[in-house]
Amino acid sequence: MERLIAGYRKLREEVYPERAEQFAKLERGQAPRVLFITCADSRITPELLFQAEPGELFICRNAGNIVPAHGDHTGGVSATVEYAVRALKVTDIVVCGHSDCGVMRGLLHPEKVASMKSVASWLGYGERARAVVEHVCSHMDEEEKVMELARQNVLAQMDNLRTHPSVAAAMAGKTLGIHGWVLQLHTGKVDAWSADSEQFAPLEQVYETVGSR
């Protein structure tokens, strides 16, 4: 707590006075262009990673960057997606997974989370990714499987997003793009899903090739 309080004191004494005009403008409303769906993992800091200013990212965080399909679970994620698309009219949604994800390890070893009933239930939304890796990646070692699970999970959640009526309508109107990214924690490198090549590749390479969609 001391660390948080010290940080707050610095914010009030140094940061706010220097950026008073910016924060006064934000008080009047927000207009983010991107809904960023990522893991609750404490090591993931979207604003730092992508050098975003306050008000630029509308962020949804949960264990494993999960997006239940429409109708499967009416909760905070579904509400956040609908609000971002219909009220804020974001132009892009990013689903961002990461290396060394505890949820992916839980998918590999469900017995280790069996005593945590809520966690075990939530991991059910990652079953598609687990099934793919179990079927085609049996030759991989533990760390490779965790990384491949992160990739497959991102793809699964992107598909789940498309089942949401607000998302489907915006995509049909060509006002919304969906993106899948995976972060390597130890390097800061981000790989992005390329629909053209049907694989993950360095973010810079993918967006040089296909642009913002």
- Please tell me which residue, 211 or 68, carries the higher pLDDT value: 68
Residue 35: pLDDT band (50, 70, 90) is very high
- The pLDDT tens digits of the residues spanning 58-101 come to 999 999 999 999 988 778 999 999 999 999 999 999 999 999 99
The pLDDT assigned to 137 comes to 83
Domain 31-210 has CATH 3.40.1050.10: yes
Residue 208: pLDDT band (50, 70, 90) is confident
Residue 113: pLDDT band (50, 70, 90) is very high
Amino acid at 30: Q
- Please tell me which residue, 137 or 112, carries the higher pLDDT value: 112
Residues 6+ apart with CB under 8 A from 44: 38, 61, 96, 98, 183
Helices (H), 44-187: 46-49, 76-82, 102-108, 117-122, 127-136, 142-161, 165-172
Percent of the chain having pLDDT more than 70? 98
Give the mean pLDDT of 109-122.
94
Amino acid at 56: E
The HSE-up count of residue 175 (CA atoms within 13 Å, CB side) is 13
Residue 3 has pLDDT above 50, yes or no: yes
Q: What is residue 213's three-state secondary structure?
A: coil
Provide the 10 A C-beta neighbour count for residue 44.
20
- Please classify residue 183 by burial: count the beta carbons closer than 10 Å to its beta carbon, then call 0-12 exposed, 13-18 middle and 19+ buried: buried
CA 116, CA 106: separation in Å to the nearest integer?
A: 11
Amino acid at 2: E
Q: What is residue 93's three-state secondary structure?
A: strand
Give span(s): CATH 3.40.1050.10, the chain. 31-210
- Please tell me which residue, 73 or 17, carries the higher pLDDT value: 17
Give me Rg for the CA atoms of the chain.
Answer: 18
The pLDDT assigned to 213 comes to 45
Residue 82 near residue 23 (C-beta atoms within 8 A)? no
CA 172, CA 13: separation in Å to the nearest integer?
A: 48
- The pLDDT tens digits of the residues spanning 120-178 come to 999 999 999 999 998 888 788 999 999 999 999 999 999 999 999 999 999 999 999 99
CA 33, CA 29: separation in Å to the nearest integer?
A: 13
The pLDDT assigned to 210 comes to 52
Q: What is residue 177's three-state secondary structure?
A: strand
Model confidence, pTM: 0.92
Provide the 10 A C-beta neighbour count for residue 50.
15
Percent of the chain having pLDDT more than 90? 87
Residue 185 near residue 100 (C-beta atoms within 8 A)? yes
Provide the 10 A C-beta neighbour count for residue 199.
11
CA 145, CA 172: separation in Å to the nearest integer?
A: 35
Give the mean pLDDT of 12-25.
91
**Average pLDDT of the chain to the nearest whole number:** 94
Q: Taking every pair of C-alpha atoms in the chain, what is the biggest distance, in angstroms?
A: 56
Q: Determine the Cα angle at 107 with ends 104 and 110, to 5°.
A: 135
